[in-house]
Amino acid sequence: MKYMKTLSEILNRISAEGYFEEVKISGDDIFIKDKKYTSDEIEIVKVYRFEGESNPDDMSALYLMDSKDGNKGILIDAYGTYSNPCFDRILKKIKLDNIN
């Protein structure tokens, strides 16, 4: 198995698995394909973290999410100091399932 270390490599691979729709968050609402979900209707199935070798500003996280009705989505956010507080608040409410 080839080790993938960049965000673009992971995005290319997961798009073949159906993860290409951007997850949007507005207040307490989560949207995939313009359909609104609550945090109880979404699961985070995988998290990838990336760290820049020479620049701490390159720290990011990629979340793969599944809805109960079969929609799949991705959310990309910084982590650490630069993470989006709105994303952090909602991500804490979403069930983590099968995180490796």
| pTM (two decimals) | 0.81
User: How far is the C-alpha of 22 from the C-alpha of 3, rounded, in Å?
Assistant: 24
What is the per-residue pLDDT across 41-75, written as a single tens digit (0 to 9) for each?
999 999 998 876 655 556 888 999 999 999 999 99
**Do the Cβ atoms of 48 and 10 come closer than 8 Å?**
yes
Report whether 43 contacts 94 (CB < 8 A).
yes
In whole angstroms, give the CA distance from residue 44 to residue 68.
11
pLDDT in tens, 2-43: 555 788 889 999 999 999 999 998 888 899 999 999 989 999
Amino acid 98: pLDDT: 45
